[in-house]
Structure 1
């Protein structure tokens, strides 16, 4: 992870930044899937945490090797988004960069779709499944998220993203097709 590309949303009077970030991130996900990339990570340098302020911000950073990022950018994955983003060149990571882990977090929110899936999987009634998912206390999720559409189910879902505390040492590993990893780190600067 010695190089990066910055993608920044341009102001748009018709679309709010979270909607544009969701569209941009969806396009990146499809491109990473098409490349079968497990060596490109993401971070959101302007992310905000908090019940009212949670946002991924207007800045998406891609991390990888120069060759792999160049390969990604030769694809036409930004079609339809070029008017909404500015894209930097592939640049070298600053020497003093810290490292962070950017990971997906999932929450048991007791949503109707979760209840139905559980009932179907465990051959129980939806009423029984709902008891298992009944919230025992109100949980407020404070992590930033992107609202995306599933390619397989065509349903919309929230992808909650957690940025760890910065650390001095890199942890190597693989990334999923969202550019997230349960262990691997990306540069943070």
Structure 2
């Protein structure tokens, strides 16, 4: 990950910054899904987990060639009024790293029951016994509201920025630019 691009939300009085960030990230996700590289990761340099905010900037990490290929698709063409992309820059040397990953929260027992009934052909009563209301988890992690490229469903994508580490860890990134193993440079 020798390069990065910062994509920042432009202030719009009529639209919430979080709404614009959701839109930009959703478009980025669609393009990452189409490219299928696995070598492009994202982070949110302004993240504030205490305020449950990802900030107003998405940092896209990768090799210079991968980032050039991403930007050559002109995926931001219709977003220029809402967000600006900086130029491809070299990652600073001597920085720390961290894993930025998706956290799946079991927040809806009802949804889990419907899924169980559909997949295992169990009755509603049996599903209620297997999945009680107490299974619901609450989280204070920041999230982005996205639409899945594969299913078309909207959902909250909870994002955790892991602990700082002195050396990078390798792996691949999902179409969301997140990974449970691979780290991104943090600066």
Instruction: Bin the TM-score by the shorter chain.
Output: over 0.9
The alpha-carbon deviation at position 152 of structure 1 amounts to 3.6
Aligned counterpart, 1:162: 160
CA distance in 1, matches of 2:124, 2:156: 23
1:101 and 2:106 matched? no
Distance 2:152 2:136 in 1: 28
> Partner of 1:173 in structure 2?
171
Gaps of 5+ in 1: none
Query: Is the 1:47–1:55 contact (alpha carbons within 8 Å) kept by the matching residues of 2?
Result: yes
Secondary structure of the structure 2 residue equivalent to 1:5: strand
Q: Structure 2 residue aligned with 1:84, among 75, 82, 92?
A: 82
1:138 Cα offset (Å): 6.6
1:69 corresponding residue in structure 2 = 67
Residue of structure 1 in register with 2:26 after alignment: 26
1:108 Cα deviation from its structure 2 partner: 1.2
Maintained 8 Å contact 2:3/2:91: yes
Structure 1 CA distance for aligned equivalents of residues 180 and 124 of structure 2: 32
SS of residue paired to 1:161: strand
Unpaired stretches in structure 2, ≥5 consecutive residues: none
Q: Is the 8 A contact 1:44 1:60 kept in 2?
A: yes
Is the CA contact (8 Å cut-off) linking 2:98 and 2:185 kept in structure 1?
Answer: yes
Question: Which residue number corresponds to residue 48 of structure 2?
Answer: 48
- In structure 1, C-alpha distance between the alignment counterparts of 2:93 and 2:116, rounded to whole Å: 48
TM-score of the aligned structures, taking structure 1 as reference length: 0.92
Distance (Å, rounded) in 2 between the aligned partners of 1:6 and 1:29: 15
Deviates more, 1:88-97 or 1:125-134: 125-134
**What is the RMSD computed on CA atoms of the aligned residues?**
1.6
Tell me by how many angstroms 1:133 deviates. Answer: 3.0
In 2, Cα distance between the equivalents of 1:113 and 1:44?
A: 29
Instruction: After TM superposition, give the deviation of residue 111 of structure 1 in Å.
Output: 4.4
Deviation at residue 41 of structure 1 after TM alignment = 0.3
Whether the 8 Å contact between 1:69 and 1:90 is mirrored in structure 2 is yes
Q: TM-score, normalised by structure 2?
A: 0.93
Q: How far does the alpha carbon of each residue in 1:111-159 deviate from its partner, in whole angstroms, 9 at most, with x for none?
A: 4333211111121123322333333277431111000112343321000
Q: Does 1:136 align with 2:151?
A: no
- C-alpha distance after superposition, 1:142-181 (max 9, x if no partner): 1110001123433210001110011110011111100011
Contact 1:7 1:60 in 2 (8 A): yes
Residue of structure 2 in register with 1:183 after alignment:
181
